[in-house]
Amino acid sequence: MSDTDFSGQAVLITGGASGIGYAAAQAFAKRGARIAIADLNQDTAQAQAATLGDGHIGLGGDVSTEATADRLVSATMDAFGRIDVLINCAGMSDTFLDTIDQTAEHWQRLIDVHLTGTFVMSKRAAREMIAAGYGVVINISSIAGILALPRRNAYTAAKHGIVGLTRNLACEWAQKGIRVNAIAPGYIRTPLVQNLIDQGKIDEKKIRRRTPLGEMLPPSAIADAMIFLASPLARTVTGVNLPVDGGYTVYGGMVDAAEIED
């Protein structure tokens, strides 16, 4: 059995019906895991789970509430009898408004989904993991958890918060057999990001020029990092925020990082 064989393990993925979450579902299912895809729309979650083959489930709910967190974890336990890996991938896009035009309602909603959702899901899943003496939690931060993204206050604050939460939980649960890490994706070509490109809110060419690898990474690049962090290969890795961004966050030059064709 290889270090990246997840046969017999159960993986719960919030925001798992599209983008990075669905890429993760495909990657873990390919390696033998049983997948619980959780998404806001249950029908969508069930349809996407069905594409993975037999033995996977789709669940619906708003991850920002403790009641939903309890229901999602309980349903995963009922279906599989265990939960080995939790991936907190549920999220939503921020506004691109000047700060003085942003609303507290939008701020709170985004914080609730990204940060509070990560907290309540991790807390509830940890009960099962502590009882089993083993578990892996992977949170999705962002380059916005490392850098400033002006006019995207709620998103930036939430992602920085996820990094802090990841470090706290990693230290608290290390002796209980639970590893907690975060991944900080760069601009990944998900349906959400593609929509922002199409709306003219993100300039793809500028991003590629700013990225040393000169490309926007596919969702599978993040899934590959998740496979590593969830595997025995990373058995001594906990509390990290791993950038998977093509070098975006380390580049500080005065000129373009990469030459690309227009």
Q: Which residues are catalytic?
A: 155
Closest CA relative to residue 20, chosen from 39, 5, 2, 3: 39
> Rounded to whole angstroms, what are the CA distances from 56 to 50, 63, 262?
7, 19, 43
Q: Which residues contact 108 (CB under 8 A, 6 or more apart)?
A: none
What gap in Å lies between CA 254 and CA 227, rounded to an integer? 35
Instruction: Give the strand pairing for 34-39 and 10-14.
Output: parallel
In contact, 75 and 69? CB cutoff 8 Å: no
Q: Evaluate whether 218 touches 245 at the Cβ level (below 8 Å).
A: no
